[in-house]
Amino acid sequence: MDESLPHQTVLDEVGPRLKRLRTKRGLTLAALSESTGISKSTLSRLESGQRRPSLELLLPLASAYRVPLDDLVGAPEVGDPRVRLSPRSLPNGGTFVPLTRTPGPLQAYKLVIPDRGAEPALRTHEGYEWLYVLDGRLRIVLAEHDFVLGAGEVAEWDTRVPHWFGSADGRPVEVLSLFGRQGERMHVRAKSRT
């Protein structure tokens, strides 16, 4: 199957699209030539398909017609770039939103963790966790270590280490979580403050 066929079809339709646009605007080739600096013969060949469209030709035409370049070319739709998130409930309270659309070794989540109110119940499992605090204060207990992170702070650990995390001050905390399989680490590099 020829992968270039859809692109070829798009390119073949540029000439007729340019001619329809010029005719609709009531412009002659001479008037368009004067406003764009492109010769009448080049414009005629472009509209008839005898000349391949190029960026050098399409940019002044888009400017003269006051339309986006994509409209001149008839570029295919690339789809809706918005991610539609589906919040889900956490078993022990709170909400999580999967940010990764496809299954794989690394998954991203946004968590909203309420005050759990109870003493930390440490647990272990396979994997590697990376947490970034978006808003609020997050308490993390890793084995014998107990600390609090504020907005903009990050922690990462091997989840085979007994751990627990929750709100540090009774208010909900928002966290970005990256979770990978065992041995897969997330690396964040920052410039030193020299």
pLDDT, tens digit, for every residue of 117-168? 778 889 898 888 899 999 999 999 999 999 999 999 999 999 999 999 999 9
Could you tell me if residue 190 is inside a domain?
no
pLDDT at 1 over 50: no
Confidence grade of residue 67 (pLDDT, cut at 50, 70, 90): confident
Residues 147 and 95 in one domain: yes
Could you tell me if residue 194 is inside a domain?
no
Residues 28 and 108 in one domain: no
Last residue of a domain, one of 14, 38, 73: 73
From start to end of the chain, where are the E strands? Answer: 88-89, 95-98, 106-113, 128-135, 138-142, 145-149, 154-158, 163-167, 173-180
Question: pLDDT tens, 73-98?
Answer: 876 666 666 667 778 888 778 888 88
Confidence grade of residue 173 (pLDDT, cut at 50, 70, 90): very high
Least confident of 105-114, 118-127, 135-144, 185-194: 185-194
68 vs 10, higher pLDDT? 68
Q: Measure the CA–CA gap between 192 and 149, rounded to whole angstroms.
A: 21
Residues 113 and 171 in one domain: yes
Structural domain span for residue 147: 88-180
Share of the chain above pLDDT 70, in %: 83
Please state, rounded to an integer, the average pLDDT across all residues of the chain: 83
Residues 62 and 103 in one domain: no
Number of domains forming the structure of the chain: 2
pLDDT at 192 over 80: no
Residues 59 and 112 in one domain: no
Could you tell me if residue 45 is inside a domain?
yes
pLDDT at 181 over 80: no
Last residue of a domain, one of 22, 39, 73: 73
CATH for 140: 2.60.120.10
150 vs 116, higher pLDDT? 150
Highest mean pLDDT among 38-42, 61-65, 89-93: 38-42
CATH for 49: 1.10.260.40
Q: Measure the CA–CA gap between 135 and 124, rounded to whole angstroms.
A: 25
pLDDT at 115: 83
Task: For residue 119, count CB atoms less than 10 angstroms from its CB and return exposed for 0-12, middle for 13-18, buried for 19 or more.
Answer: exposed
Helices (H) and strands (E) in the chain, counts: 6, 9
pLDDT at 175: 95
pLDDT at 76: 64
Residues 56 and 128 in one domain: no
pTM: 0.53
Residues 107 and 158 in one domain: yes
pLDDT at 190: 43
Last residue of a domain, one of 38, 73, 108: 73
